């Protein structure tokens, strides 16, 4: 009966992005306790667990604690995830394929780990934290390097049988459109994701268009929206067309899932009003044309996530809470398609 029992009361959310790793430490009441951002990403798969654990240790230190205080860890990654065994596959931007990340992190920290796709984790976090109030059916539409949606239906994260639900970046929206890296033509991503916005501006300038952007080097989507906000016509036209595509994506999400609210976030959404206004104008055009669209696209159907919302990190914190509670990841559907040994990572 001697010795001091360490209270495991910290939840750690890790948002693994393509260019940085953001760690958020919270207490069980979901108040923030510490943060750490690593300005590089994980590097080689073999080092991924070490890098993640190092970032976690730094964030827990920022909270004035040690890793002994960790009750649970959640990790959001931009790829497909098997939450039952903590394996990440097809995280193309990270160079990962079939990387077992959950078990090594859990073993190093002695705490349970839950891994989920970053967009789906963010959607679950927005719901669990009640960011939009008492809304049980919502979609989180992330517009960044890629486009994907995380969907909460009737209060529960909808993963689908393969954990791919909401991958609308690869829905074909223009059968005659550009070829997507996925192989199909005219996927939503080829027309409205960040790289597409930049590429479309560069192509319009190369085709003789006049724009303040011509003076810049490698364009980014942020450059295009900044120019549009400053009155650049070429940039504004691209922003308008991208807005029309995203408005139709919002309409698609509402018509398929019949959710109450669509929250838009992701790197490109950080451009703020220059990004949002063309979407709102396009939604108004849909409403003007159609009584059905007016009904399903109610005023306030779209919310833009304020920059600094840390939706990914907070989503990972809610994963951490689930891991800490011993709650099982929803196994039924995944089990049926490809049976795996059902266990919580870090159980033993």
Among 273, 337, 338, 340, binds a second copy (CB under 8 A): 337
Out of 159, 200, 303, 321, which residue is the one contacting a second copy (CB under 8 A)? 159
What residue spans of the chain are helical by DSSP H? 45-62, 102-109, 118-128, 189-192, 194-206, 221-229, 233-257, 273-289, 291-296, 311-325, 332-337
237 binds a second copy (CB under 8 A): no
- Single out the residue of 38, 12, 9 nearest to residue 115, CA to CA: 12
CA dist list (Å): 317 to 2, 23, 44, 74, 286? 33, 9, 25, 6, 37
Is 6 a binding residue for a second copy by CB under 8 A? The answer is no
Residues 336, 340, 345, 348, CA torsion sign: positive
| 339 lies in the site for a second copy, by CB under 8 A | no
Smallest gap, in angstroms, from Cβ of residue 88 to a second copy? 16
Phi-psi region of 4 (alpha: psi -120 to 50; beta: other; left: phi over 0): beta
Q: Count the site residues for a second copy by CB under 8 A.
A: 53
Site for a second copy in 292-321 (CB under 8 A): 292-293, 295-296
The verdict on 137 binding a second copy (CB under 8 A) reads yes
Q: Which stretch binds a second copy (CB under 8 A): 55-63, 169-177, 199-207, 313-321?
A: 169-177
The site string for a second copy over 247-276 (x = CB under 8 A, - otherwise) reads: -x--xxx-xxxxxx----------------
Sign of CA dihedral 317, 321, 326, 330: negative
Q: CB 152 → a second copy: shortest distance, Å?
A: 11
333 sits near a second copy (criterion: CB under 8 A): yes
Does 182 help bind a second copy (rule: CB under 8 A)? yes
Tokens 């085709």 map to which residue?
207
Who contacts 313 (Cβ-Cβ below 8 Å, separation ≥6)?
A: 13, 14, 15, 22, 23, 24, 76
Which of these ranges, 18-26, 61-69, 152-160, 264-272, lies near a second copy under the rule CB under 8 A?
A: 152-160
- In the bound complex, what is the minimum distance in angstroms from residue 146's beta carbon to a second copy? 12
Nearer to a second copy by Cβ, of 73 and 293: the residue is 293
Indicate which single residue of 7, 66, 68, 162 sits in contact with a second copy (rule: CB under 8 A).
Answer: 162
Q: How far is Cα 160 from Cα 61, in angstroms, rounded to an integer?
A: 37
Q: How far is the CB of 224 from a second copy (least distance, A)?
A: 21
Starting at the edge strand found earlier in the chain, the sheet holding 156-158 runs 156-158, 147-153, 138-143, 261-265, 302-304
CA distance 234 to 237: 5
Q: Which is nearer to a second copy, 67 or 168 (CB)?
A: 168
Q: Which residues contact 208 (CB under 8 A, 6 or more apart)?
A: none
Given candidates 30, 51, 58, 153, which one binds a second copy under the rule CB under 8 A? Answer: 153
Q: Which is nearer to a second copy, 64 or 331 (CB)?
A: 331
- Closest listed residue to residue 314, CA positions, set 9, 71, 7, 35: 35
- Is 168 near a second copy (CB under 8 A)? yes
The footprint of a second copy (CB under 8 A) covers: 134, 136-137, 149, 153-155, 158-168, 170-175, 180, 182-185, 244, 248, 251-253, 255-260, 286, 289-293, 295-296, 330, 332-333, 336-337
């Amino acid at each position: 009966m001697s010795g001091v029992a360490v209270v495991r009361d910290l939840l750690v959310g890790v948002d693994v992005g393509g260019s940085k790793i953001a760690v958020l430490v919270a207490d069980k009441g979901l108040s923030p306790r510490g943060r750490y951002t690593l300005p590089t990403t994980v590097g080689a798969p073999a080092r991924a667990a070490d890098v993640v654990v190092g970032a976690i240790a730094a964030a827990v230190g920022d909270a004035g604690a040690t890793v002994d205080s960790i009750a649970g860890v959640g990790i959001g990654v931009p790829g497909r995830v098997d939450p039952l065994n903590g394996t990440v596959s097809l995280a193309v931007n990270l160079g990962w394929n079939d990387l077992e990340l959950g078990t090594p992190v859990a073993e190093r920290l002695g705490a349970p780990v839950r891994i989920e796709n970053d967009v789906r984790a963010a959607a679950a976090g927005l719901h669990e934290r009640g960011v939009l109030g008492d809304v049980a059916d919502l979609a989180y539409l992330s517009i960044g390097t890629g486009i994907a949606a995380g969907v909460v239906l009737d209060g529960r994260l909808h993963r689908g049988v393969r954990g791919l639900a909401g991958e609308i970046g690869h829905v074909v929206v223009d059968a005659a459109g550009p070829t997507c890296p996925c192989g199909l033509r005219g996927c939503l991503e080829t027309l409205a994701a960040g790289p597409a916005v930049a590429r479309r501006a560069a192509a319009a300038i190369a085709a003789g268009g006049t724009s303040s952007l011509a003076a810049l080097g490698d364009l980014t989507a942020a450059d295009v929206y900044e120019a549009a906000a400053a009155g650049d016509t070429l940039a504004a036209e691209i922003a308008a067309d991208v807005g029309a595509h995203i408005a139709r994506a919002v309409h698609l999400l509402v018509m398929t899932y019949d959710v109450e609210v669509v929250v838009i976030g992701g790197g490109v959404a950080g451009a703020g009003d220059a990004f949002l206004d063309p979407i709102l104008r396009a939604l108004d055009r849909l409403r003007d044309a159609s009584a059905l669209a007016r009904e399903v696209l109610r005023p306030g159907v779209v919310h833009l996530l304020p920059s600094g919302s840390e939706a990914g990190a907070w989503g990972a914190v809610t994963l951490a809470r689930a891991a800490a509670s011993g709650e099982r990841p929803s196994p039924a559907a995944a089990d049926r398609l490809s049976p795996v040994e059902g266990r919580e990572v870090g159980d033993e």
